[in-house]
């Protein structure tokens, strides 16, 4: 296993009728551990949080907390709701012993000023009562928000528990600025298709949807990079970029990951189910991805069968 900490952006589990099915989560967890994933990030974008009720989000997190073994990380995204409900979810997460409570910025209407955003984040962090706090930067979904380096600098004064940032952004200059603002902050890189660039920028952790099915290949990318075989790392990473070019949205990615791991049902509308064109593209990708995974698993640095930390 590489030295890099890969967490999976956990997929929302549904039964055949499209209802949340927490009973599927132990299977998801077992698959992730077998492929070298060190943690799960629950109820994020890949977890379809905008389309889950508060009760569904709670039940999903409760199942992950009950199933996870010692040493397997667990984070949860609690945002996307009014502040009072977001705080309720943060307090609920604390009671389940999670390792990380995260939230996206409020994203409907006028983007908040830096001061308003930081105050909102501080209110959420306070409700988590001492749990390490993570700001989830994802402008492709929230729309324009203040620069994350500025958020980190200001939040460091107001949020004593600020410990991490989920950086789902393409601005690698900003990634460097974050590190300069808070060198001790754990930055989870969230653009799977840009992993080699993130490695060159010094990243050592990531949270992403593609690690639900392609974690062994991601570890192989890191191992090649660490050996100084940069061209090889870039070549090994090509399937991630192929997916990014073909994907039409989170629903596409979920259906693809269902082919490479436990099938937890199509995404809810409006992200799913996949169209005929999506399924045809997925059919073309899957054999190539399985070949790439087989090659990565056969390499000397392949991920061992069971990972406990």
- Tell me the pLDDT tens digit for each residue of 41-73: 999 999 999 999 999 999 999 999 999 999 999
pLDDT at res. 144: 85
CB 274 within 8 A of CB 252: yes
> Average of pLDDT values for 281-298?
93
Q: Given pLDDT bands bounded at 50, 70 and 90, which one contains residue 306?
A: very low
Q: Given pLDDT bands bounded at 50, 70 and 90, which one contains residue 110?
A: low
Structural element, H or E, at residue 245: helix 238-246
Q: Is the pLDDT of residue 29 over 80?
A: yes
How far CA 268 is from CA of 35, 89, 135, in Å, comes to 26, 21, 25
Give the 3-state DSSP-derived string for 135-176, with helices as H, strands as E and coil as C: EEECHHHHCCCCCHHHHHHHHHHHCCCEEEEEECCCCHHHHH
CB 84 within 8 A of CB 49: no
Residue 52, CA atoms < 13 Å, CB-side half-sphere: 30
Mean pLDDT of the chain: 94
- Tell me the pLDDT tens digit for each residue of 189-231: 999 999 999 999 999 999 999 999 999 999 999 999 999 999 9
pLDDT at res. 260: 97
Two tokens, residue 197: 């660039």
Q: Given pLDDT bands bounded at 50, 70 and 90, which one contains residue 305?
A: very low
Q: Given pLDDT bands bounded at 50, 70 and 90, which one contains residue 303?
A: very low
- Closest Cα partner for 33 from 73, 85, 84? 73
CB 240 within 8 A of CB 192: yes
- Closest Cα partner for 285 from 220, 249, 241? 241
Q: Cα separation of 61 and 272, whole Å?
A: 22
Q: Give the other-Cβ count within 10 Å of 13's Cβ.
A: 22
DSSP per-residue string spanning 32-43: HHHTT--EEEES
- Closest Cα partner for 306 from 24, 66, 3, 31? 31
- Tell me the pLDDT tens digit for each residue of 145-199: 899 999 999 999 999 999 999 999 999 999 999 999 999 999 999 999 999 999 9
pLDDT at res. 209: 98
Q: Given pLDDT bands bounded at 50, 70 and 90, which one contains residue 300?
A: low
pLDDT at res. 160: 97
Burial of 23 (0-12, 13-18, 19+ CB in 10 A): exposed
Q: Cα separation of 238 and 299, whole Å?
A: 17
Look-up of token digits 């989560």? 25
CB 248 within 8 A of CB 231: no
How far CA 244 is from CA of 99, 142, 194, 238, in Å, comes to 29, 19, 10, 10
pLDDT at res. 33: 97
pLDDT at res. 308: 28
Q: Cα separation of 256 and 268, whole Å?
A: 15
Q: Given pLDDT bands bounded at 50, 70 and 90, which one contains residue 1?
A: low
CB 20 within 8 A of CB 48: no
In this structure, what are the phi and psi dihedrals at residue 134, rounded to the nearest 5 degrees?
-130, 130
pTM > 0.85: yes or no = yes
> Average of pLDDT values for 246-260?
97
Q: Is the pLDDT of residue 258 over 60?
A: yes
pLDDT at res. 301: 53
């Amino acid at each position: 296993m590489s030295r890099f900490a890969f967490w999976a952006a956990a997929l929302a589990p549904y039964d055949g009728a499209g209802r949340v099915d927490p009973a599927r989560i132990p299977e998801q967890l077992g698959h992730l551990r077998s492929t070298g994933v060190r943690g799960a990030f629950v109820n994020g974008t890949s977890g379809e949080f905008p389309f889950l009720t508060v009760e569904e989000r709670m039940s999903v997190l409760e199942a992950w907390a009950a199933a996870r073994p010692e040493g397997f990380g667990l984070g949860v995204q609690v945002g996307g709701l009014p502040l009072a409900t977001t705080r309720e979810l943060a307090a609920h997460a604390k009671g389940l012993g999670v390792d990380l409570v995260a939230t996206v910025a409020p994203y409907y209407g006028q983007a908040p000023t830096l001061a308003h955003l930081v105050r909102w984040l501080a209110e959420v962090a306070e409700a988590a009562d001492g749990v390490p706090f993570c700001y989830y930067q994802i402008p492709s979904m929230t729309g324009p928000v203040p620069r994350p380096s500025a958020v980190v600098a200001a939040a460091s004064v107001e949020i004593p528990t600020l410990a991490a940032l989920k950086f789902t952004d393409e601005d690698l200059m900003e990634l460097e600025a974050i590190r300069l603002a808070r060198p001790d902050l754990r930055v989870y890189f969230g653009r799977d298709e840009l992993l080699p660039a993130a490695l060159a920028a010094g990243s050592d952790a990531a949270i992403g949807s593609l690690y639900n099915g392609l974690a062994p290949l991601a570890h192989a990318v890191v191992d090649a990079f660490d050996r100084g075989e940069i061209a090889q790392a870039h070549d090994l990473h090509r399937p991630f970029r192929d997916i990014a070019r073909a994907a039409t949205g989170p629903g596409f990615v979920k259906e693809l990951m269902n082919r490479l791991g436990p099938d937890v049902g199509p995404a809810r509308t409006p992200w799913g189910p996949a169209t005929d064109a999506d399924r045809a593209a997925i059919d073309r990708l899957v054999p190539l991805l399985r070949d790439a995974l087989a090659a990565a698993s056969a390499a000397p640095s392949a991920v061992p069968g069971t990972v406990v930390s």
